[in-house]
Amino acid sequence: MLSDKVKEKLFAKKEIQQLDLMTVSLVISAIDEAMEEVDQEDAVKQSSIYEQRV
């Protein structure tokens, strides 16, 4: 999940400010979801690697 600090930096960008709020919200939500999916996939891979070593 994006930290508040990262979100603040994104919203401070001139290019982002030119977009409507709905679009920005959808993009940030999509990024959050993608990051969570990657974290979950990485956790599964790490678990699988650990199980193979045991």
Full-model pTM: 0.71
Which residues span the domain enclosing 21? 4-53
Instruction: Write down the pLDDT at residue 36.
Output: 96
Condensed to tens digits (0 to 9), the pLDDT of residues 6-52 reads 999 999 999 999 999 999 999 999 999 999 999 999 998 888 776 77
User: Using CA atoms, how far apart are residues 19 and 47, in angstroms rounded to an integer?
Assistant: 41
Q: Which residue has the tokens 């993608």?
A: 34
Q: How many domains does the chain have?
A: 1
Task: Tell me if 2 sits within 8 A of 28, measured CB to CB.
Answer: yes
